[in-house]
Amino acid sequence: MNAYDVRPFADSLDLGRHAEAQVREMLEGKGWKTWDTAAHQGEVLRVNQWRLELAPAERGRGPRWVCGGRLLLAADVLAAKDGRTILVEVKRKLQGCQWNRTHGAWVTGCDERRFVGYIRAEQALSIPHTIVFRHARRRPDPRGGVAPSGWHAATVSQLRNIGGPPCQETREGMPRLAYFWAEMLRAM
């Protein structure tokens, strides 16, 4: 499978769910209590000072928060520890980071529309959102090094402020992608 092959949705979903479970295990190992938002759709979660309502499941849609009469994109994991609450979105990347020839740097990213949704949810809920990337493959670096692989993370605010190469169109019919500098992510 090359970078342009499309993986069946069910396979991608299974890989993503596995990565989400791994992130929950990592957080729980550090003393966090976690919730899988997909498993709690249609419920109200009371966490620290928050009363968070998840919309009922709809076919073809992931979890969404109900906030002020609006539906907002929900991250994969809700976590709480010592009075702190965070939301974590997990991105499993089989192809790993990509080399950006124009800027001479490794980049990673996600669907631009979803990234904007994470920004809106973070602002509306006032709960920090973190995106965790799991880069599986180590690609050769044109300069002789190797691409970053493993677990890396940054908050949505950091990614928004750090920026990256301009969003790019992909193949016809595919969503625009928001890219981030891989070197700005912290290893987990």
Domain ranges of the chain: 9-32+74-187
Would residue 104 be called left, alpha or beta, if left means φ above 0 and alpha means ψ between -120 and 50 degrees?
Answer: left
Question: What gap in Å lies between CA 167 and CA 148, rounded to an integer?
Answer: 21
Reported CATH class of domain 9-32+74-187: alpha beta
pLDDT at 168: 63
pLDDT at 9: 56
User: Residue 176 is encoded by which pair of tokens?
Assistant: 């625009």
3-state DSSP assignment of residue 145: coil
Q: What is the pTM of this model?
A: 0.84
Longest dimension (CA), the chain: 52
Buried b (16+ CB within 10 A) or exposed e, 77-106: bbbbeeeebbbbbbbbbebbbbbbeeeebb
Neighbours of 135 (CB within 10 A): 23
Do residues 77 and 22 make contact, with C-beta atoms less than 8 angstroms apart? no
pLDDT at 3: 46
Report residue 60 CA to chain centroid gap.
Answer: 18
3-state DSSP assignment of residue 144: coil
The secondary element (H helix, E strand) that includes residue 50 is: strand 50-54
Residues 6+ positions from 3 with CB-CB distance below 8 Å: 95, 98
Q: Give 6-47 pLDDT, tens digit per residue.
A: 556 566 667 788 999 999 999 999 999 999 999 999 999 999
| Rounded average pLDDT per 10-residue block, the chain, 188 residues | 52 80 96 94 90 86 88 94 96 83 84 91 94 82 75 91 66 75 86
pLDDT at 7: 56
Do residues 45 and 66 make contact, with C-beta atoms less than 8 angstroms apart? no
Question: What gap in Å lies between CA 40 and CA 103, rounded to an integer?
Answer: 42
pLDDT at 78: 95
pLDDT at 2: 44
pLDDT at 30: 96
